[in-house]
Amino acid sequence: MLTLLSFSLYLFGGAAFFALALIIGARHLKQSRLALATKLPGLAAFALILSLHFWYSMASLSLTHTMDGIAYPLRIGQQLLFAGSLLCLARFAWQMMSLTQWRHLAAVKDTARLLLLLAFFSWVYLATKPMSETPWELLITLLRWFLGLGGSVIAGLALIDYANHIRTEGYIGTRPLSAMGYTLIGVGITLQLGEHVAGLIAQTLCALSLVIACWYALRLFDQENSQQIEYHIQQSQQHAKLKELGELTSAVAHEIKTPLSSALMSCDLLEPFVPLDAAPQRQLTRIRHGLERAALISNEILSYAHQRPIERHVVHLGDVVRSALLLNHYRLQSIRVNCHLDEKLTVQGDAKQLEQVLSNLIANAIDACSSHERPTVLIESLRDKLSAIVRVSDNGSGMTPQQLDKAKQPFFTTKPRGSGTGMGLPISHQIALQHGGELHLKNRMNNDVICGLQAELWLPRNIK
């Protein structure tokens, strides 16, 4: 009766750990922004090898009753699989420590190293003493305690700490991840009970609990994957629209640029023959200015129509803001600039394109407040749950609701005639969308009075 019960427990326990490995392996983890995604394969390896250990033990249980003389080699194979699973668990625990917010992480790692050295020297010392256990069985016992119990406790506590950390970052549904940490500690404790019936029952129950907790915890990745798919669909739809527009505008712009270049060259050739009188020179200058402005608009059209590919890297937004300010340095000499930046705020994106957006927003703020008695530009970077925000504000006259509605449309501008192309904000908005973000414009209000304009660039935050 006990043999049949043990056989059943080995079968179901192995199935539970195998299910855990499948649950982790079936997730699309490579594209995840969560650093946990790179560590979970270690847990899957532990579960897979432990499931093989359970099933191997089940097979050994039946074979030892039917064949004589094979109990010892079967036992060695069983212990090798068990030791392999414990090594995978210890590696997973070591990797998880890098994701924690523990203040004394270095001390914890040093303590773990010392305990492993202590286990090794204890094994060397005890192996030379006459004992009922063989040196190999003694090694398995020490691995069970130091790697099994120690690894599960460290990995479980690290999972709990990581769940608390990403909860403060704005992720929802992290409680199953904490539960996963507690059940992993339970698995490590029950592994110390050995392969008696009571121990197998406890191990099987903990394995089932870990599978359930993992199933719900990994919904974080499912939600993230759904958001990424939705984003890529939106990007492809936008790309399809812009492709048709780009083909048309590119053809028109190229056709315009050729006669413009010819006309500008003609101006250069005519200039030596134009009398030095004020009127002819003034007319020639006016012609040149109109041609150069038309050339500038055609270049802006080409830039808007052709989306440049994004080279994604980790970008520190504080550095991008300072670079954009440097580009506008000479225009800012008579303007008061206040910066409040979160130096730890990072995103995944193209630094040059983001610099172009912020430089454009700063230039617009300068134009908006330049006529004020005390022109001021305020630049802030802050986090809002899963988003990074860069806010550029001025103390100009703001915009009317109708102007705000049209501000991101191509060729719309509130600047004086001849001083703006109306393409800066549309290009900036397009770059924001390419980065999976948004560009928002709104008036700054003080007692229901408009006291300036506020532009906000929202981007997905880089989360460890």
pLDDT tens-digit series, residues 327-356: 888 888 888 999 999 988 999 889 988 998
Q: Position 362: which residue type?
A: I
Q: Please indicate, yes or no, if residue 168 is contained in any of the structural domains.
A: yes
CA separation for the pair 125, 289 (Å, rounded):
91
Query: What does DSSP assign to residue 373?
Result: S
Residues of the chain with pLDDT under 50: none
Question: How are beta strands 336-340 and 387-394 bridged, if at all?
Answer: unpaired
Clarify whether residues 182 and 315 are in a common domain: no
- Residues 319, 449, single domain; the answer is yes
Please tell me whether residue 372 adopts helix, strand or coil conformation: coil
Instruction: Answer yes or no: are the C-beta atoms of 37 and 67 closer than 8 Å.
Output: no
Q: Check whether residue 334 and residue 464 sit in a common domain.
A: yes
Do residues 423 and 414 touch, judged by C-beta distance below 8 A? no
Asked if residue 149 and residue 18 are part of one domain, the reply reads: yes
Of 335, 392, 403, whose CA–CA distance to 362 is shortest?
392
Residue 297 lies in a domain: no
Residues 117 and 7 in one domain: yes
Q: Does residue 184 sit in the same domain as residue 319? A: no
Which of 199, 217, 235 is where one domain is finished? 217
62 and 178 part of one domain: yes
Host domain of residue 192: 2-217
Assess whether 58 and 204 both reside in one domain: yes
The pLDDT value recorded for residue 386 is: 80
Classify residue 458: in a domain, yes or no: yes
Are both 212 and 335 inside the same structural domain? no
Measured in whole angstroms, the distance separating CA 298 from the mean position of its chain's CA atoms is 37
Predicted local distance difference test score (pLDDT) of residue 75: 78
Sheet of strand 336-340, all strands in order from the earlier edge strand to the far edge: 336-340, 376-384, 387-394, 449-460, 438-446
Cβ-based neighbours of 393, under 8 Å, separated by 6 or more: 365, 377, 378, 379, 380, 444, 452, 453, 454, 455
Q: For 356-400, what is each residue's pLDDT tens digit?
A: 899 999 999 998 888 888 899 999 999 887 889 999 999 988 888
Contacts of 295 (CB under 8 A, 6+ apart): 257, 260, 261, 264
Domain membership of residue 226 (yes or no) is no
In a domain, 279, yes or no: no
CATH no. for residue 320?
A: 3.30.565.10
Concatenate the DSSP letters of all residues of 31-93 into one string.
T-S-GGGGTHHHHHHHHHHHHHHHHHHHHHHHHTTT-SS-HHHHHHHHHHHHHHHHHHHHHHH
pLDDT for the residue 97: 93
Q: What pTM was computed for the model?
A: 0.69
pLDDT recorded at residue 430: 84
Number of domains in the chain: 2
Could you tell me if residue 103 is inside a domain? yes
Residue 257 counted as domain residue: no
Same domain, 338 and 195: no
Q: Where among 191, 217, 243 does a domain terminate?
A: 217
Distance CA 412, CA 201 (A): 72
Same domain, 41 and 189: yes
In a domain, 243, yes or no: no
- Of the three residues 192, 217, 242, the one that is the final residue of a domain is 217
Biggest CA–CA distance in the chain, Å, is 118
Residue ranges with strand state E in 81-146: none
Residue 225, pLDDT score:
72
pLDDT score, position 338: 92
Q: At what angle do helices 278-305 and 219-270 cross, to 10 degrees?
A: 160
pLDDT on residue 131 = 64
Measured distance CA(449)–CA(377) in Å, rounded? 18
